[in-house]
Structure 1
Amino acid sequence: MKKLFFVFAFLIPLITYAQTIKTDVLILGSSNAAFAAGIQATESGVNAIILTQSDGFKLSDFKSLPQSGVTKAFEKRARKSLKLADSLPLPEITNQILNAVIKNWSDSSKLLDVINNTIYYEIKRSGSGWEAKLTKEKSIKAKVLIVTDNIEKILPTLKVESLKPAETNTLTYTENLYRTTIGGINGTSNYLPLYNLLVPNHENILYIKADNLEIGQAAGATAAYAAFFQTKTSLSNLKRIQGELLSYKLSLMPFEDVKIVDSNWLAIQKVGITGILKADIKDGKVYFNPEKEVTYDEVKQPIKDYYYKAQIWFDDHQNIPINLENTISMVCYVGNKAVDVTKNEIEKKWKKNYKFSSKYDLKKILTRREFSVIINEYLKPFDLINVDRTGRVIR
């Protein structure tokens, strides 16, 4: 008994003074990217701590931020904190209001924690994850680390002299890398490929620019995937992460003319990522042209690239109009569906589900919007067909 007593007497000071906080994702920074990464990680179902090292977030004008699941989640919390009905407009979201809402959110959430005015003096590896030393007695251990500033403090652990933050690519259809997008940058022709986000030769650390909300949201979902499935960031599943981000309303293709409020936004995003319908790029912006009619020549080869059976169908149907009847014929042949049943289904859904403004007419030349919705629902090229790291279709 005396021996046990002395053992516990020895341990008590360690328990009293040493404190290790465990989390899934640790985000360093107080910018747009840190804000988005933390919210997305928690929305994706993992624990996240944001360490701001200041008196709170310092975001650019909230109204200027791209609308996505992150900003919508914040607005919902803001209404709750400010006790505003959905019918009333939100006041101007100053940084003071934003930080007050985030504090209420953090205080009431089991997943999100924001720690302000706390400087870390060391970050080092801890198993497959990371440990941030706040003091000699206090530290935070995380499975995945997202850095939006002060990368210099982490370089010694990585044993490198410098590290560049994740870079975006400019959309071009001369290569297929756009199919690996995990974030389109609002108002530009730029997008972030998943494999640009991952740090070569270093697991479970992501380094991103501080000012970009879209990249922050993408990083949050990627970190959440690794933490949730207890895996390495290098083993990130592209389709799962893309699907998660689409479910939280992040545009993966930066279409200027199809916003998230559009009833067909999701179908257009998914078909846009496949390249079956390609956008126009003009003055540094990307236009899907949803109301433009589809032509035979623009869809023939892309659909053949995705489906073996489509090669036979197009060989048997040369230079025909892409009207509703021919599109149904094609999706039924490629997807092994009954033509009459499919016609009836589409007719019932035309107005009610698809929200199309046009009349159901089998001889109607389809717009890119209508074609996208039908292709997405009946062939599911985005959901069912994988691509490799370069965006090449794997069949």
Structure 2
Amino acid sequence: MNRLFFVFAFLIPLIIHAQTIKTDVLVLGNANAAFAAGVQASESGVNAIILTQNDGFKLSDFKSLPQNGVTKAFEKRTRKSLKLSDSVPLPEITNQIANAVIKNWSDSSKLLDVINNAPYYEIKRSGNGWELKLTKEKSIKAKVLIVADNIGKVLPALKIESLKPAETTALNYAENTYRTTIGAIKGTLNFLSLYGLLIPNQENILYINADNLEIGQAAGATAAYAAFFQTKTSLSNLKRIQGELLSYKLSLMPFDDVKIADSNWLAIQKIGITGILKAELKKDKVFFNPEKEVTYTEIKQPIKDYYYKAQIWFDDHENIPINLENTISIICYVGNKAVDATKTELQKKWNKNYKLSSKYDLKKVLTRREFSVIINEYLKPFDDVNVDRTGRVIR
């Protein structure tokens, strides 16, 4: 994973020996999820093969898909294939065009391969990984398997009679599982928890619905983590996978009013995942309300949950406005920082680095956007504080 936990990634070409193709991640399927899973795995630095068993992919209308790292990578390669500059609008992306682009992509990639029209007759465990038999003489061996298609042929290897694909969960602040999110579903309340993706008592296999691109991308990053570190999916590192997906612009919280193009999108996503600022749930959508002013009441308990020292600060500062000066007081007390140096640094970065439109004013009550940027930068609750499988903060 290029920018986060795959810092030392290296390219391992496909090894073909005695009719056995070896890869890191094998994806079964030909719809949105399979495409996203294979692309994300390869973008994250491991070998990935997508086996469609058909003439090619059948993807949803490109314009209806969420704009993130996978769709941006596809758009870039589409422009290259069609020889279009960035200023020229993309034409309608038919499945014929999509498959031509994907073929060129896989032909030129050292990590992504697509195999069409290759039915398999058996799949079984092979050590900690999987072996898929294309013929008696030819097979594919993979460290991690992603099924975004019919699970029927895989069930005998799992020694179970049935299995449901990973299910999303509706955002509900009465529970903390939202902190374990690895993918938000565009235009809904729903998110996918890492622990909703992992299959109990089944290692190195992920089973997902065929049509959801965000879930496919989440599965691709999770599989890539296990393959790269040669570990089991049950030992997945939540924060590293979340960080990887955020670096590829996958929204992990389903905020309808903060788009990926927003200059503060990453800070808002990270603070949203912590729950230090909670969103408004309205008409089956989630609104972060970035320009609304922060209140003392809404941040008091969440910050105390994350930091022991915050208990003392809030005891000494009751029902005060959350202006810039008081926010600096919080971060300096909790984070052991010098007040004057922090004020000077913030003033320099306010408009230039953070792209905030307001003026630097110590007496100004902060918006949720401004508060998110400052807390994310100076306390780093998302990066530095871990949570357990239920989302409970571990201090």
Alignment partner, residue 345 of structure 1:
345
SS at the partner of 2:206? strand
TM-score (norm 1): 0.95
Alignment partner, residue 210 of structure 1:
210
SS at the partner of 1:326? helix
Q: Spell out, residue by residue over 1:105-132, the C-alpha distance to the aligned partner (whole angstroms, 9 max, x if none).
A: 1000000000001101100001100011
Assess if the C-alpha contact under 8 Å between 1:181 and 1:253 holds in 2: yes
SS at the partner of 1:163? coil
**Superposed displacement of residue 94, structure 1:** 1.2
Alignment partner, residue 117 of structure 1:
117
Alignment partner, residue 8 of structure 1:
none
RMSD: 1.0
Alignment partner, residue 165 of structure 1:
165
Q: Distance between the aligned counterparts of 2:316 and 2:93, measured in 1?
A: 58
Q: Distance between the aligned counterparts of 2:34 and 2:142, measured in 1?
A: 15
Unaligned runs of 5+ in 2: 1-15
Alignment partner, residue 5 of structure 2:
none
Q: Spell out, residue by residue over 1:287-330, the C-alpha distance to the aligned partner (whole angstroms, 9 max, x if none).
A: 00000000000000000000001111111111000000000011
Instruction: Name the aligned partner's letter for residue 373 of structure 1.
Output: V
Alignment partner, residue 220 of structure 2:
220
The structure-2 alpha-carbon separation of the partners of 1:17 and 1:376, relative to structure 1 and needing over 3 Å to count, comes to closer
Assess if the C-alpha contact under 8 Å between 1:146 and 1:207 holds in 2: yes
Instruction: Name the aligned partner's letter for residue 266 of structure 1.
Output: L
Q: Distance between the aligned counterparts of 2:17 and 2:38, measured in 1?
A: 28
SS at the partner of 1:363? coil
Alignment partner, residue 35 of structure 1:
35
**Superposed displacement of residue 92, structure 1:** 1.5
Matches within 5 A, 1:179-194: 179-194=179-194
Alignment partner, residue 61 of structure 2:
61
SS at the partner of 2:351? helix
SS at the partner of 2:160? coil
Alignment partner, residue 355 of structure 1:
355
Assess if the C-alpha contact under 8 Å between 1:291 and 1:367 holds in 2: yes
Alignment partner, residue 389 of structure 1:
389
Q: Distance between the aligned counterparts of 2:260 and 2:161, measured in 1?
A: 41
Q: Distance between the aligned counterparts of 1:200 and 1:95, measured in 2?
A: 36
2:327 aligned with 1:327:
yes
- Which aligned segments of 4 or more residues in structure 1 are displaced greater than 4 angstroms? none
Q: Distance between the aligned counterparts of 2:294 and 2:343, measured in 1?
A: 19
Q: Spell out, residue by residue over 1:178-228, the C-alpha distance to the aligned partner (whole angstroms, 9 max, x if none).
A: 000000111000000000100110100000000000000000000000000
2:153 aligned with 1:153:
yes
SS at the partner of 1:270? helix
Alignment partner, residue 103 of structure 2:
103
Alignment partner, residue 7 of structure 2:
none
Alignment partner, residue 72 of structure 1:
72
**Superposed displacement of residue 18, structure 1:** 4.1
Q: Spell out, residue by residue over 1:31-56, the C-alpha distance to the aligned partner (whole angstroms, 9 max, x if none).
A: 00000000000010000000001111
Alignment partner, residue 6 of structure 1:
none
SS at the partner of 2:41? helix
Alignment partner, residue 10 of structure 1:
none
Instruction: Name the aligned partner's letter for residue 171 of structure 2.
Output: L
**Superposed displacement of residue 245, structure 1:** 0.2
Q: Distance between the aligned counterparts of 2:170 and 2:17, measured in 1?
A: 51
Matches within 5 A, 1:164-313: 164-313=164-313
**Superposed displacement of residue 86, structure 1:** 1.7
Instruction: Name the aligned partner's letter for residue 103 of structure 2.
Output: K
Q: Distance between the aligned counterparts of 2:182 and 2:241, measured in 1?
A: 7
Q: Spell out, residue by residue over 1:84-117, the C-alpha distance to the aligned partner (whole angstroms, 9 max, x if none).
A: 1122222111111111110001000000000001
Q: Distance between the aligned counterparts of 2:231 and 2:157, measured in 1?
A: 20
Q: Distance between the aligned counterparts of 1:223 and 1:80, measured in 2?
A: 28
Instruction: Name the aligned partner's letter for residue 89 of structure 2.
Output: P
Q: Distance between the aligned counterparts of 2:40 and 2:156, measured in 1?
A: 29
Q: Distance between the aligned counterparts of 2:296 and 2:311, measured in 1?
A: 13
Q: Distance between the aligned counterparts of 1:17 and 1:267, measured in 2?
A: 47
Q: Distance between the aligned counterparts of 1:126 and 1:245, measured in 2?
A: 29
Q: Distance between the aligned counterparts of 2:271 and 2:374, measured in 1?
A: 10
Assess if the C-alpha contact under 8 Å between 1:17 and 1:137 holds in 2: no
Q: In terms of Rg, which structure is larger? A: 1
Unaligned runs of 5+ in 1: 1-15
Q: Distance between the aligned counterparts of 1:95 and 1:258, measured in 2?
A: 30
Assess if the C-alpha contact under 8 Å between 1:25 and 1:48 holds in 2: yes
Q: Distance between the aligned counterparts of 1:99 and 1:353, measured in 2?
A: 40
Q: Distance between the aligned counterparts of 1:83 and 1:331, measured in 2?
A: 50
Instruction: Name the aligned partner's letter for residue 95 of structure 1.
Output: N
TM-score (norm 2): 0.95
Instruction: Name the aligned partner's letter for residue 118 of structure 1.
Output: A
Alignment partner, residue 374 of structure 2:
374
Q: Distance between the aligned counterparts of 1:349 and 1:367, measured in 2?
A: 17
Q: Distance between the aligned counterparts of 2:340 and 2:224, measured in 1?
A: 44
Instruction: Name the aligned partner's letter for residue 324 of structure 1.
Output: L
SS at the partner of 2:183? strand
**Superposed displacement of residue 17, structure 1:** 9.8
SS at the partner of 2:321? coil
**Superposed displacement of residue 75, structure 1:** 0.8
Select the structure that is richer in helix.
1
Instruction: Name the aligned partner's letter for residue 278 of structure 1.
Output: K
SS at the partner of 2:99? helix
